[in-house]
Chains A and B, each alone.
Chain A
Amino acid sequence: MFKIRMFLRFEKEEKWLEQMAAKGWLLRGTGLCYRFQKTEPGERTIKLDFRYFKSARDFTEYRTLFADSGWQHLAGSRWSGTQYFLKSRADSTEDIFSDRLSQAGRYQRAADMGLCCAMAFLVLFLTMVSNEQIDSAAFFQPKQWYFTPGLWELEGVSFWWAFLFESPFAIMRGVGWLLPLLFMVFYGVCAMKAHLIYRAAVSGQ
């Protein structure tokens, strides 16, 4: 089964995944969406960390440490950031963190990565500006987005066929430059929110 969700708070995501497990759906993978596999319905403990790794070896060492201490790695890749763990032994600790500071640390690491992504999209946008790929005047003249010769003289089915065929490309030409800006703002806001959660958690609120 597949599901699309977005969470800012790890605690809420953990709770949702535990509810899914209670209904018999255990997390199998993440990426564009959450992938689940059928499992025996029951109470499970799922915890999330946020880390990415410089080397494949570091990632393996990380997962081995968790496996040794009774936490099975369910999902997450070297670069995905969020890492998902299932409590797999009765005697393992109740959480993957044993103090408040290290538990809050995952939000700061997420904030750092969000800021990096925001900066990357800013660079992409500035590159587009400096390459003069952005024609803000054309923004208000959608007809100019279409390059098909004689498109606007066509009629009936042949018009709609040509129009709809070119639309995805035309929209990218017309407002595509907005995408890096939108992503920049999205990641920037997420990073700021994650940082604020971290600050609040560290100061014990």
Chain B
Amino acid sequence: MNRDKNLPLTETVYYVLLALTEPAHGYAIMQKVEELSGGQVRLAAGTMYGAIENLMKKKLITALKSDDPRRKVYVISEQGKEVLQADYKRMLHMIAITEQVAERGRAWTGAEFDQEEGLEHV
């Protein structure tokens, strides 16, 4: 399979792209990512700025016209949406195949695999 060179996305980039399915400025992205990840991913300003710069360079996001001259507003690009969807499918496959394998061999790493709780108890 000829995979997009951007895959797999890092957790940070995945959440940033997901957050930017709606237009937002830098700090709003940071807050949205924290919210989407249930507080798991807390981006710092320097890392956020670098991530925006990087995603702009890769054309996965674009800058919109902003009324506020001090804050640029960004949104995911068509190319970004494709990459996000491809990574989503990649993870869906990983989840599906993990459940299959775990189902087949209950002795999987000797740990109990709970369908409801997912991998959290493994």
A interface, CB within 8 angstroms of B: 47, 49, 51, 57, 60-62, 64-66, 68-69, 71, 85, 93, 95-99, 102-103, 105-106
**Complex alpha-carbon distance, A22 and B27, angstroms:** 29
**Complex alpha-carbon distance, A61 and B56, angstroms:** 15
List the one stretch of B39-47, B79-87, B92-100 in contact with chain A: B39-47
Q: Which of B26, B49, B69 has the most CB of A within 10 A?
A: B49
State the interface size on chain B (CB cutoff 8 A): 19
B interface, CB within 8 angstroms of A: 12, 25-27, 30, 42-51, 69-72
Q: Smallest CB–CB gap between A64 and chain B, Å?
A: 4
**Complex alpha-carbon distance, A65 and B71, angstroms:** 8
Contact check, B45 vs A99: say whether CB atoms are below 8 A apart: no
Total A-B residue pairs with C-beta atoms closer than 8 Å? 62
Q: Which residues of A have CB within 8 Å of B45?
A: 65-66, 68-69, 71, 85, 93, 96
Contact check, B27 vs A65: say whether CB atoms are below 8 A apart: yes
Q: Smallest CB–CB gap between A188 and chain B, Å?
A: 26
**Complex alpha-carbon distance, A48 and B103, angstroms:** 50
With A47-B46, A65-B26, A102-B47 given, name 17 new contacts (CB 8 A): A51-B49, A60-B69, A61-B71, A65-B25, A65-B27, A65-B71, A66-B45, A66-B46, A69-B27, A93-B43, A96-B44, A96-B45, A97-B44, A97-B47, A99-B12, A103-B46, A105-B50
